[in-house]
Structure 1
Amino acid sequence: MSTCFELPLTPNYVRDWDFGMAVRELIQNGLDQQSVDAKSLFSVDYDPDTQKLKFTNARSRLKVNTLLLGRSSKSNDEDTVGQFGEGYKIAALVLNRLGKTFTIYNNMMNQIWTSKFKNSRKWLDKLLAFFVEDVQSPNDSLVIEVGNVTQEEYNQLTEIWLSDPSVARIRTEYGDILTEPEYSGKFFVNGLYIECSGDFSFGYDVKPRYMVLERDRKSCDSWSARQVTCKMITSALLSGGLDFDTAKELIEVDADDINLIDYTYIEGGGKERLIENLEKSFEEQHPSESKSSSVYVPVNSEIDKERVNAYGGIPVIVPHNVASAPFPTR
């Protein structure tokens, strides 16, 4: 015997959502749960023969009250991506609309939740409903099973989720810098892909507490992205994970990764070494013919250019962070 819970969601809700958007919500929930409980390891499995896609947390549960819209067990948790409490319900609606099955094995609660659309006598319309049945469960895992998933649909997960642990990365307190060329300019938060505009040389997987997302949880503003990547680059420099020549090159090409650098926060001799590398590189590119000849000076504005000309120097327009570097000999 099962208990029916009708949700005030009709099949036409979030009509623009597709399979990838729905699955993204399920991955996000699984990763968030793993973030708050390290023992609740998250995994994804696909069986092409049965066409079943499973999202599993090793130790987790859902209470019936999470079926309420806006109700979430992770509200205000800075280690999670989601904050708005609608994810798995909307995913269930979209996947049912696409002809998939959506079943939750809520093992810690000894329950199976089956979802489908039903004609509501109360609301005189078709709504999403969950049918909760009490069963004896073998373990404490939470498994969301989506049926009728094609191989092509499953392949979409690689565009949503950074699932490969072998991807080369530099670890920092703010998250990971992804150094492989194929990830250049790509942003992830807790392993989940987000859209960020900007000219970034590396890829980044940022911890949720350090990245503020837009309401849709799928994008961020470029200012926030540049702030956190600058902190990650600086942290990698100080830890030895990133070499100073690479940081110098990022500054010279005005990459957004390090666009907001503040030299005063680079400690332990790192500031002096980075500035020395920048100065050496500038002098190699603009050598003076003799000690008595005019000196080349890096500038970043017309005002500075005119000032250098007035003093008999030769101004060279360079990116802001090269011009602002406090070269010892300047």
Structure 2
Amino acid sequence: MLAAIADRIRSKSYELPLSRDYVRHWGLKEAIRELVQNALDSESPFEYAFADGQLFITSRFARLEASTLVLGSTSKADRADAIGSFGEGYKIALLVLTRNGYDVKVWNGNKQWVPEFRHSDQFDAEVLCINETPAHRQNQGVEFVVSGLTEEDETEIRSMCLRMQPPMSDVIGTKYGHILPSRPGKLYVGTLFVCDTDLTYGYDILPEHLQLERDRQTVSGWDLKQVSKNAWIDTGRLDEVAEKIEAGIPDVEYVEYGSTELVREACYRLFQQKHPGAIAVQSQEELNSLVKQGMTNTVVVRGAYYSQVANSTSYKQQVSHVVAIQTPKAALEEWYRDNKKYMSRLPAASFKELVKRADGWRNK
């Protein structure tokens, strides 16, 4: 009896100005992602377990102060390596899970938090409340326990976190994160799924290298293609990178907005292997113009591949003398301009006819 009275005295209820319908488009996967994200961002090792329809997410050295229930409050705002930096994550997760009928408990040090929806006299509306009671068990840090999960729920949850999936054997590591050939088009940030993309490969980008939009389900296309390009360059597999640039895959499309001389030289080597001694142009019109001037070993190269080949040091050295070659007609016209004052009328007329005939001549 006395223990129950003491528990009631120490119990509290925190009303949050969050209605039941807040983020109506969110479901189980989005809510669990927020809880996992907080665990990953904490100073504790990431621990989780599925058992008997329950998910346990534990941060052994963490503690949630009541002040973190205030919207906008966070301990991660100044950390570039933290995925979440808006301060709303776990509160919204509790709201969504409760709204969808899952039983949720938070073991927080010597306290237990349980969310529920309740009418608020202060707001005259139904809002999310966090009920705090003493925890009659030993707790290390913070543990979120979500109950009522089905096998399908577990599969859905595992799909959004690489830490919950079997390891992949073909992962390519870079300083920007990991390239995931086995997850084509999938984008993860800090091991958490963000969205599907039009990229050829999958990526797990470190949070400090890719800023998520506020909904944490979208990113800037420009930023994504910049970091995917940088990741491939960082692999050091420059011949492979050159092949991907030539193939025009979107992952390296933005190489023309930031590259290295080593990448450009790799593209030049690939170009020379396929077209020894050739001149690279960007259009059929350019090709026709050069062929007309006698430069028949000319190849149309488009997009980022052209920018890399044409701007490589080796290519510039190769074509420096080629572009100076005159067509037979141009050479004859230049000679005529320099010497016509020494020619009589008849030879001059004959030479003009020769110049006209030279219009179809080609350099070997």
The 8 Å contact of residues 253 and 319 in structure 1, kept in 2 or not, is answered as: no
The 8 Å contact of residues 5 and 130 in structure 1, kept in 2 or not, is answered as: yes
* One-letter identity of the residue aligned with 1:105: W
Task: Report the alpha carbon displacement of residue 227 of structure 1 after superposing the two structures with TM.
Answer: 0.6
TM-score normalised by length of structure 2: 0.75
Aligned to 2:46: 42
The 8 Å contact of residues 103 and 144 in structure 1, kept in 2 or not, is answered as: yes
Distance 1:45 1:24 in 2: 15
**CA deviation string 1:178-200 (max 9, x = no partner):** 132xx1121111011122643x2
Q: What does residue range 202-281 of structure 1 map to in structure 2 within 5 Å?
A: 202-237=201-236, 243-261=237-255, 265-266=259-260, 270-271=262-263, 274-281=266-273
Cα distance change on mapping 1:303 and 1:66 into 2, 3 Å: farther
Distance 1:232 1:282 in 2: 26
Structure whose CA Rg is larger: 2
Aligned to 1:98: 100
Distance 2:112 2:205 in 1: 34
1:321 to 300, 304, 310: 304
Cα distance change on mapping 1:254 and 1:138 into 2, 3 Å: same
TM-score normalised by length of structure 1: 0.83
* One-letter identity of the residue aligned with 2:304: N
Structure 2: stretches of 5+ with no match in the other structure: 1-6, 320-364
Task: Report the alpha carbon displacement of residue 248 of structure 1 after superposing the two structures with TM.
Answer: 2.3
Higher RCO (CA < 8 A, seq sep 6+): 1
Partner SS for 2:280:
strand
The 8 Å contact of residues 11 and 127 in structure 1, kept in 2 or not, is answered as: yes
The 8 Å contact of residues 170 and 236 in structure 1, kept in 2 or not, is answered as: yes
Q: What does residue range 155-170 of structure 1 map to in structure 2 within 5 Å?
A: 155-163=155-163, 164=165, 166-167=167-168, 168-170=170-172
**CA deviation string 1:262-309 (max 9, x = no partner):** 598536xx44761353223432xxx6xxxxxxx743322466445534
Alignment RMSD, CA only? 2.4
Distance 1:28 1:264 in 2: 32
Query: Number of residue pairs matched?
Result: 301
Structure 1: stretches of 5+ with no match in the other structure: 238-242, 288-294
Partner SS for 1:195:
strand
Q: What does residue range 175-194 of structure 1 map to in structure 2 within 5 Å?
A: 175-180=177-182, 183-194=183-194
Distance 1:65 1:100 in 2: 25
Bigger helix share: 2
State the identity %. Answer: 31
**CA deviation string 1:87-118 (max 9, x = no partner):** 111111111111111111112xx211111112
Distance 1:124 1:95 in 2: 23
